[in-house]
């Protein structure tokens, strides 16, 4: 059986990227402490593609924004649910989730849980 992945696509204002990175580093530490196997935050680098629907167009970035693609790896969906329950009970997460201090628009974040079908 393959791993389970939480995936995110987030439009982030370039001028807030440093703040986003600091927030993500804190979040990564919390998720890893509670059992996540891996945690990656990736900022767009080659987004002007001619094949398929480019991320910026798909998420409708605004002037001055870039795209962050993130994922967290778990053993299984039940492991994800267990880790996330611990994360949400961790008081440090409340500091990170203060809507007034968010360096991005949470309502435009794309999120979902995924079963892996190919792993090498």
Residue with the larger pLDDT of the pair 18 and 49: 18
Residue 95 is predicted with a pLDDT of 82
**What mean pLDDT do residues 16-28 have?**
96
Q: Is the pLDDT of residue 81 over 80?
A: yes
Residue 40 is predicted with a pLDDT of 98
Q: Which helix (H) or strand (E) holds 81?
A: helix 77-89
Mean pLDDT score of the chain, rounded to an integer?
94
- Neighbour tally for 66: CB within 10 Å: 18
**What topology does CATH give the domain 4-115?**
Alpha-Beta Plaits (3.30.70)
Q: Is the pLDDT of residue 92 over 90?
A: yes
Q: Which helix (H) or strand (E) holds 111?
A: strand 110-115
């Amino acid at each position: 059986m393959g791993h389970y992945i939480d995936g995110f696509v987030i439009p982030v204002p370039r001028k807030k990227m440093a703040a986003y990175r600091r927030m993500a580093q804190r979040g990564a530490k919390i998720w890893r402490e509670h059992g996540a196997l891996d945690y990656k935050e990736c900022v767009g680098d080659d987004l002007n593609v001619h094949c398929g629907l480019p991320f910026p167009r798909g998420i409708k970035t605004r002037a001055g924004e870039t795209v962050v693609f993130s994922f967290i790896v778990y053993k299984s969906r039940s492991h994800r649910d267990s880790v996330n329950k611990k994360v949400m009970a961790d008081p440090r997460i409340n500091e990170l989730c203060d809507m007034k201090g968010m360096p991005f628009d949470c309502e435009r974040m794309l999120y979902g849980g995924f079963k892996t079908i190919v792993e090498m």
